Structure 1
Amino acid sequence: MLAKTGRFNRLRESNALFADFNAREPLSLFRGHFVLFHALYRLRDRARRERRGELAIEPLAIVLRPPAADASAQAIFATPEAERLSAWYGDWERWRTATAAEVIEWLRQFQALRRSGGQRALALAALGLQDPVDRAAIKQQYRRLAMRHHPDRGGDGLRLRDINAAWAVLQAGSDE
């Protein structure tokens, strides 16, 4: 889309970080991606600081949501995974030191995880489980953890959100 509109050419001309960008080369693609997400996470942090809203950064959507009314509402968006990604993209040394071989290996690992049902494995791990496990055991563990980590019972809201997200992944992948 950017290439068709000429915007990308203007970006390449105006920004040295994109001058040598080539989407067909893994290291170049990684560096372009890294710069974009580095900037997005910095913008998210700035929007939070200035109480302008919450920039939700997802693989297929980037959305500026209205400011949270209080800290507990803001915590809904500040998942541990989002914070890990923010820290990862915040480390500018990654951009400088990544090699083509590392990028190719990261892509290989990502594809292998995707093909192997990685979402299920990650969701089970979030619940402290691993395959083979039956549906009843998953449901029992989900309920136990949800009760333990619910903020109304003195639990951690961020952990509860991870538990609920894992449950949603497992529900979506269910044949029932």
Structure 2
Amino acid sequence: MLEQQIQHLLVAVEHELRSAVFGIDELNLIKKLQRPPWTLIGELEFHDTQKLYPVHFLLFHVLYRLRDTLAEVGENLTISPMRISIERQDTVGGNGLPGSVDSLRSFYLDLSQYELPEDAIDQMMNNFWAGCQNTGPGKPETLQAAKVLGFDSIPDSFLTVKQAFRRAVMQAHPDRGGDTEAIQSLNEAFSVLKAHFSQMMEQS
């Protein structure tokens, strides 16, 4: 049953990615898979990590399987929560399977990780970017995250990021006319920037 769902997702995800010329973030890809003609994902509370995790895991399992397939025909699949896109491999070099994310690839291709205890899910979602090799997000993902929080470029300090994040979350709060999906998007952007500044501190 799970494998059948994965096969349907492979078709739908590749179709949506080829339609998204400049790529798409994880949240919007999930929304597209929820809508017709796909309707492969049910209703979600985006702030509930326990319910979001199985969807996130299965989607990334599909993405890593698709990336392996595309690499065989000279295409590269960029995978991150902030930007997922198909590109010609000659624009990135190598074989489309960068070693820096191999630990994540191993994790998501292991279907035994589909169901995890609550504390393990919280740890994994909080440290998504770290993986097993403490690799940080790339510049395109970091810049996209900065834009989600209202910056034109990557800020110079994490304090500035925290202040912008707090303001944005307050404005996106449901009591002020916002919604939980907007807050989830802000949380993802904040996590990316937090990983970016953590990596900078380690390198300094």
Give the TM-score range, shorter chain. Answer: 0.3 to 0.5
TM-score by length of 1: 0.48
Per residue, is there more helix in 1 or in 2? 1
Larger Rg: 1
TM-score by length of 2: 0.42
Higher relative contact order (CA 8 A, sep 6+): 2
